[in-house]
């Protein structure tokens, strides 16, 4: 999340860079510009020749209602508390702590040097779509290039796919806890959002499948889920996928699967179960993905989605007025990432698994880590004994111990009893941070 310069060799100050305008400043700037706008569009006496009695009211900061009701980022709220401090141990951002592998970086530089600086096809360069088709066919079922749309980041894939599917007023169901961006997207589109919470039990997070199927009544447009899940690490089982697919087929409901962490899965095989393994090309299934996590490419902003071919063709038309296409040289990086040595993905998975084991070693015996995550690089720490809600706890931990975590409420009220740590930090920082957290909670 370094917004201001070249990738630093040490990422420890990414989120405390003083150049980043804090939210309060941004609000002040927006308010000042709205005031200017108000002054400039007020009817002027000199124009009409007479002073008007009645003032026309021009609303200030008038975004449409579904945007006005968006929840401000809780992570940002917390981040503002830590602004200016350079001594924080940071576990809040889901971002690897080392730069993109060299062979991928070189591909981006070579592309730029070769002058590949032009618009591409809306759905991406054919070479990248071919490479994705081969890669996904190896990982899942045969996937044709016509089923693939390359996007400008994973989050752009989420927005594009949602715009393809969801009209205002339509009903969507989300399995929560869920990454906040994914919660907000259907709301931005004016959807009517209902949630089904994973159940927290000592054995782990569990999906109550019957409850989910009940919620997926006929007329529901889509079900949104993310597995392996940010923040819980919960991963849907193959049996649950089959039952969900059968139900959605029966009722014409779209399955919207965010597979961002499918390669960061710690159980056998190293690839999480995906709907792409069991669905047909013509099923109502959209799988979204990103290069950010598996190839350490967060700053590149490259993602993709897989969907039925006729929908991909429409995605091209839709992408034109949005970003038109992903950046040409970035796409070259993606092509090389898929075609180059794949050991790097295995190495990252092993690294994060080892770090997860550090979390288990430090927090496991205390009972503060009730669930060992099966995938992604997050762990939820139980703060129940603090008596505080997750936001108050995260703020006080930040101020007292300089440890930056994300309040569980960010992912929905059902996870307010937890804070999330991203175990992407180097071993020593990770241990120190976990020990401070343990001491703070247990005394």
Ligand X SMILES: Cc1ncc(COP(=O)(O)O)c(C=O)c1O
- Cα separation of 395 and 412, whole Å? 18
Strands 204-206 and 199-201: antiparallel
Shortest separation between residue 230's beta carbon and ligand X, angstroms: 4
Give the integer Cα–Cα distance in Å for 124 and 131: 11
Enumerate residues 281-310 that contact ligand X by CB under 6 A. 290, 292, 298, 303
Contact 260, 291 (CB under 8 A): no
Listed ranges 147-155, 190-198, 209-217, 275-283: which one lies at the site for ligand X (CB under 6 A): 147-155
Cβ-based nearer residue to ligand X, 156 or 441: 156
**94 or 433, CB closer to ligand X?**
94
Q: Please, which residues bridge with residue 415 across strands?
A: none
Question: Please, is 48 exposed, middle or buried when counting C-beta atoms within 10 Å of its C-beta (0-12, 13-18, 19+)?
Answer: exposed
SS3 of residue 113 by DSSP: helix
We find the least distance from the C-beta atom of residue 154 to ligand X, in angstroms, to be 3
What tokens were used for 374? Answer: 């099966």
Q: Do the beta carbons of residue 207 and residue 354 sit within 8 Å?
A: no
Which residue, 295, 300, 304, is CA-closest to 343? Answer: 295
Q: H helices within 42-167, ranges in order?
A: 45-48, 65-68, 74-82, 102-113, 126-139, 154-165
Q: Which of residues 374-433 bind ligand X (CB under 6 A)?
A: none
Q: How many residues bind ligand X (CB under 6 A)?
A: 13
Percent of the chain as helix, strand, coil, to the nearest 5: 45, 15, 40
Residues 172-191 that bind ligand X (CB under 6 A): 179
With contacts defined by CB under 6 A, name the span among 9-17, 150-158, 323-331, 350-358 that binds ligand X: 150-158
Residue 356 or 441 with smaller CB distance to ligand X: 356
Structure token pair of residue 204: 């782990």
Query: Nearer to ligand X by C-beta: 111 or 153?
Result: 153
Q: Minimum Å distance from CB 93 to ligand X?
A: 8
Q: Which of residues 319-358 bind ligand X (CB under 6 A)?
A: none
| Torsions phi, psi for 26 (to 5 deg) | -65, -40
- Could you say whether residue 260 binds ligand X (CB under 6 A)? yes
Q: Which residue's CB comes closest to ligand X?
A: 154
User: Both ends of the chain: CA-CA distance in Å?
Assistant: 33
Binding mask 86-125 for ligand X (x = CB under 6 A): --------x-------------------------------
Judged by CB under 6 A, does residue 274 bind ligand X? no
When binding is defined by CB under 6 A, the residue of 153, 294, 390, 424 that contacts ligand X is: 153
Kindly state whether residue 230 participates in binding ligand X, applying the rule CB under 6 A: yes
List residues binding ligand X (CB under 6 A).
94, 153-155, 179, 226, 230, 258, 260, 290, 292, 298, 303
């Amino acid at each position: 999340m370094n917004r201001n310069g070249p990738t630093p060799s040490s990422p420890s100050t990414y989120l405390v860079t003083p150049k980043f305008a804090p939210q309060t400043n941004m609000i002040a700037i927006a308010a000042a510009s709205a005031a200017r706008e108000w002054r400039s569009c007020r009817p002027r006496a000199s124009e009409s020749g007479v002073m008007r009695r009645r003032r026309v009211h021009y609303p200030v900061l008038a975004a449409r209602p579904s945007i006005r009701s968006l929840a401000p980022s809780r992570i940002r709220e917390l981040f503002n508390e830590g602004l200016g401090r350079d001594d924080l141990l940071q576990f809040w951002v889901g971002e690897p702590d080392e730069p993109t592998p060299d062979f991928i970086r070189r591909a981006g530089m070579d592309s730029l040097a070769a002058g590949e600086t032009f618009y591409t096809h809306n759905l991406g360069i054919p070479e990248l779509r071919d490479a994705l088709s081969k890669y996904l066919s190896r990982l899942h079922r045969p996937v044709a290039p016509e089923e693939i749309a390359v996007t400008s980041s994973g989050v752009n894939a989420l927005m594009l796919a949602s715009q393809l599917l969801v009209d205002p007023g339509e009903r969507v169901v989300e399995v929560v806890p869920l990454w906040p961006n994914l919660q907000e997207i259907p709301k931005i589109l004016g959807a009517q959002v209902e949630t089904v919470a994973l159940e927290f039990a000592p054995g782990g997070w569990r999906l109550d499948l019957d409850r989910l199927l009940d919620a997926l009544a006929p007329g529901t447009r889509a079900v949104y889920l993310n597995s392996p899940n940010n923040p819980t690490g919960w991963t849907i089982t193959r049996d649950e996928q089959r039952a969900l697919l059968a139900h959605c087929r029966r009722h014409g409901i779209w399955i919207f699967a965010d597979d961002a962490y499918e390669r960061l899965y710690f159980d056998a095989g190293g690839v999480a179960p995906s709907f792409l393994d069991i669905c047909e090309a013509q099923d109502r299934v959209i799988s979204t993905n990103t290069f950010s996590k598996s190839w350490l490419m967060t700053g590149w902003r490259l993602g993709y989605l897989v969907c039925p071919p006729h929908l991909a063709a429409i995605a091209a038309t839709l992408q034109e007025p949005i970003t038109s296409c992903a950046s040409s040289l970035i796409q070259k990086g993606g092509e090389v990432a898929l075609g180059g040595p794949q050991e790097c993905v295995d190495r990252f998975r092993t690294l994060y698994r080892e770090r997860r084991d550090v979390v288990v070693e430090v927090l496991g015996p205390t009972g503060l880590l009730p669930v060992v995550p099966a995938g992604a690089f997050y762990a939820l720490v139980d703060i129940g004994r603090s008596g505080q809600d997750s936001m108050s706890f995260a703020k006080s931990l930040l101020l007292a111990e300089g440890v930056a975590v994300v309040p569980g409420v960010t992912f929905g009220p059902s996870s307010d009893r937890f804070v999330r740590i991203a175990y992407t930090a180097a071993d020593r920082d990770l241990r120190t941070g976990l020990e401070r957290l343990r001491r703070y909670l247990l005394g």
